[in-house]
């Protein structure tokens, strides 16, 4: 695409009016130019090979309230880092947080030498107060990415920004205007306080609990016994089917490019233009469902890599994922860009508009979804439940929704029915039934945790769920993006021959608020996961929890095995795993060193769902 951009008369009038428009907004200034409301977009910007970024405290004003952010160059979000594929770049990051231990910047999804990856304690020491660290590397890719701190909770308090890379050979699709849309969640509570609250009570911020009225409604729809069985099953698991997000709009204000819904961030267009919207989920704990009522979207890029265009009305974007879409507004009127939290507790919104100061109707929040046992892998499927004391709870065992016996204490089963050879012994884990849609000759390896207190349940026969839109989606008559829709149009640089298979299990005990891989928190793993340099590894990820987890692997691509041909497998740096689900990715580790592997829900990572991958 031609990078030259010229303002027409209409753009000039808009730009002249932007200052007056912003003056009336409830917004703290300055904002980075790319995030200003009613801007013409970033189509005319140029890539650079050097940036100086300073992390320091800065006031942040949202809806009349003022807080303190760990801002980059004084703004939240931070500056747009705009690079070009093939360039050698120097990114100097200074830590001006004088009362903190260290800071850092991780270039999310960027292939770099491991010393440039920016994870303190894994591949460098962090940036000490008052010091500057130079990140220097050659850019090997193109697309839409982002950057953020990997120190403490600085990501929650504003240390993040967008990163885009121009392809050296030109864009593979045409457009006239280009806007970056960074979604995030902001709280005026200190993140230490948030973390303490959810450690003490996992549903501390969830005020959408099931009510007696819903119990009555379910009886009318499903009958008394089926409803009772469902409630007893959830009670025995000490779980709630409405625990969808740990932190909700009770404390969060959801932001679009640093603007609250009332601030109405606005992206300009001329009718008839093709507009590129680069969505980046830079939030700490929030999965968003995104749609633009009245406009179709073509998804053309996922996690920075091009895909065959997928026409959709809505897509779910997990924390740390990016999606680029093309829209073609023909009418001279505004459209609402609507991003709704998965739990429906809140939303952020902006406006795609032909003029500053306009807005379109804002959709109402949809009803809060309620998980069924099917949606956590336990509806008619075997699962093992573990208790708080490190062993199996009475009434756990091989559990099926049908055939459970109930008494006043909940579920009751005999030892034989529970799959236990002797009282008090855990069941022998049989080999899971193999789903033909799951690649490989054997499927994921069965899992039995060594330390049961970290694991609330184990799904013995996880299901393939890449073709499902996800809880709360798919019932509105709209086309919703799924992972099965993603077909890569990028060259395939890696071998089709798989050298080795490996399984990593995603595990949790929500009552203890512990999150882990293979039943071990980060502090409990005896050593890193070992990947071999340049091997072709098939990695199975099995989610034994009742929540979605965005799993991020640093330093290398994960190619999602979604039914596409080997040379069409989509590239992902972050994968939103579904409850009770299994998926497989192909990985070729190309850089030796130590790399982080973790859930990108920041408080889950802090609570233990992290590990180091060593490539040797």
| Lowest-confidence pick of 140-144, 219-223, 406-410, 442-446 | 406-410
Residues 6+ apart with CB under 8 A from 511: 202, 238, 388, 456
Is the predicted pLDDT of residue 238 greater than 80, yes or no? Answer: no
Indicate whether 432 pLDDT > 60.
no
User: Average of pLDDT values for 504-524?
Assistant: 94
C-alpha–C-alpha distance, residues 24 and 357, integer Å: 10
Q: Rounded mean pLDDT of 81-87?
A: 98
pLDDT at 558 over 50: yes
Report yes or no: 292 and 338 within 8 Å, Cβ to Cβ. yes
pLDDT, tens digit (0-9, with 9 covering 90-100), for 271-328: 999 999 999 999 999 999 999 999 999 999 999 999 999 999 999 999 999 999 999 9
Partners of 594 in beta bridges: 614
pLDDT band at 523 (very low <50, low <70, confident <90, very high): very high
pTM metric for this prediction: 0.87
Nearest residue to 269 (alpha-carbon basis) of 41, 44, 80: 41
Percent of the chain with pLDDT strictly greater than 70:
81
Q: Residue 579 and residue 243: Cα distance in Å, rounded?
A: 12
Q: Are 109 and 245 in contact (CB under 8 A)?
A: no
Residues in CB range of 244: below 8 A, 6 or more apart: 206, 342, 343, 368, 369, 371, 471, 547
- Tens digit of pLDDT for each residue in 567-589? 999 999 999 999 999 999 999 99
Backbone angles phi, psi at 299, to 5 degrees: -75, 120
| pLDDT on residue 64 | 94
3-state DSSP assignment of residue 548: coil
Three-state DSSP class for residue 169: coil
The pLDDT confidence band at residue 382, using thresholds 50, 70 and 90, is low
Q: What DSSP element (H or E) covers 197? A: helix 191-200
Residues in the chain: 616
pLDDT at 396 over 70: no
The first and second tokens of residue 243, run together, are 């625990």
Would you state the pLDDT for residue 239? Answer: 59
* Greatest distance between any 2 Cα atoms in the chain: 82
> Whose structure tokens read 């109707």?
361
SS (H, E, C) 170-217: CCCCCCCEEEEEEEEEEECCCHHHHHHHHHHCCCCCCCCCCCHHHHHH
Measured CA to CA, the distance from residue 68 to residue 17 in angstroms comes to: 30
Q: Name the pairing type of β-strands 463-464 and 581-587.
A: parallel
The angle at the Cα of 348, spanning 347 to 350, to the nearest 5 degrees, equals 145
Put the strands of the sheet holding 314-317 in their side by side order. 265-268, 347-353, 335-341, 288-291, 314-317
Torsion sign across C-alpha atoms 171, 172, 175, 177 = negative
525-538 pLDDT tens trace = 999 999 999 999 99
Checking if the pLDDT of 156 tops 50, the result is yes
């Amino acid at each position: 695409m031609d990078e030259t951009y010229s303002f027409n008369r209409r753009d000039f009038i808009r730009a002249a009016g932007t200052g007056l428009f912003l003056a009336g907004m409830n917004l703290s200034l300055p904002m980075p130019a790319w995030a200003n409301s009613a801007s013409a977009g970033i189509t005319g910007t140029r890539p650079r090979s050097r940036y100086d970024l300073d992390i320091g405290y800065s006031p942040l004003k949202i809806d009349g309230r003022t807080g303190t952010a760990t801002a980059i160059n004084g703004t939240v979000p931070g500056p747009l880092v705009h690079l070009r594929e093939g360039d050698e770049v120097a990114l100097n990051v200074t830590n001006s947080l004088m009362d903190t231990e260290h800071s850092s910047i991780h270039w999310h999804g960027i292939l770099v030498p491991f010393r440039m990856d920016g994870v303190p304690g894994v591949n460098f020491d962090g940036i000490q107060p008052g010091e500057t660290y130079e990140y220097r590397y050659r850019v090997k890719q193109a697309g839409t990415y982002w950057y953020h701190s990997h120190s403490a909770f600085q990501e929650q308090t504003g240390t993040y920004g967008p990163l885009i890379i121009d392809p050296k050979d030109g864009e593979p699709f045409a457009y006239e205007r280009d806007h970056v849309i960074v979604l995030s969640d902001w709280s005026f509570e200190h993140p230490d306080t948030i973390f303490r609250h959810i450690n003490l009570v996992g549903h501390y911020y969830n005020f959408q609990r099931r009510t007696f009225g819903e119990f009555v409604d379910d009886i009318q729809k499903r009958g008394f016994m089926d409803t009772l069985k469902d409630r007893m099953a959830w009670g025995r698991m000490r779980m709630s089917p409405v625990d969808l997000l740990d932190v909700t709009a009770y404390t969060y204000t959801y932001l679009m490019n640093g603007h609250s819904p009332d601030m109405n961030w606005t992206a300009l267009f001329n009718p008839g233009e093709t507009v590129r919207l680069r969505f980046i989920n830079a939030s700490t704990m929030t999965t968003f469902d995104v749609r633009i009522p009245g406009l179709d979207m073509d998804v053309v890029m996922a996690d920075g890599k091009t895909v065959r265009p997928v026409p959709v009305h809505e897509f779910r974007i997990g924390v740390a994922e990016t999606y680029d879409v093309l829209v073609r507004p023909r009418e001279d009127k505004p459209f609402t860009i609507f991003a709704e939290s998965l739990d429906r507790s809140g939303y952020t919104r902006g406006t795609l508009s032909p003029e500053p100061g306009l807005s379109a109707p804002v959709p109402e929040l949809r009803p809060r979804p309620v998980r069924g046992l099917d949606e956590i892998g336990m509806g008619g499927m075997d699962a093992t439940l573990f208790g708080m004391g490190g062993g199996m709870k009475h009434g756990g065992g091989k559990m099926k929704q049908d055939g459970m016996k109930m008494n006043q204490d909940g579920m009751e089963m005999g030892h034989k029915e529970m799959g236990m050879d002797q009282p008090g012994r855990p069941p022998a884990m049989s080999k899971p039934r193999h789903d033909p849609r799951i690649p490989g000759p054997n499927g994921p390896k069965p899992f039995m945790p060594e330390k049961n207190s970290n694991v609330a349940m184990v799904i013995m026969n996880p299901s393939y769920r890449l073709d499902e839109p996800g809880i709360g989606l798919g019932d509105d008559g709209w086309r919703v993006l799924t992972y099965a829709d993603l077909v890569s149009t990028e060259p395939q640089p890696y071998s089709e021959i798989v050298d080795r298979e490996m399984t990593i299990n995603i595990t949790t005990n929500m009552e203890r608020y512990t999150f882990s891989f293979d039943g071990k928190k980060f502090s409990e793993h005896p050593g890193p996961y070992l990947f071999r340099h340049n091997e072709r590894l098939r990695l199975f990820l099995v989610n034994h929890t009742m929540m979605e987890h965005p799993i991020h692997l640093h330093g290398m691509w994960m190619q999602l095995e979604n039914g596409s041909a080997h040379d069409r497998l989509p590239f992902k740096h972050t994968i939103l795993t579904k409850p009770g689900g299994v998926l497989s990715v192909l990985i070729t580790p190309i850089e030796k060193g130590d790399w982080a592997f973790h859930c990108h829900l920041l408080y889950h990572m802090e609570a233990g769902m992290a590990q180091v991958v060593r490539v040797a």
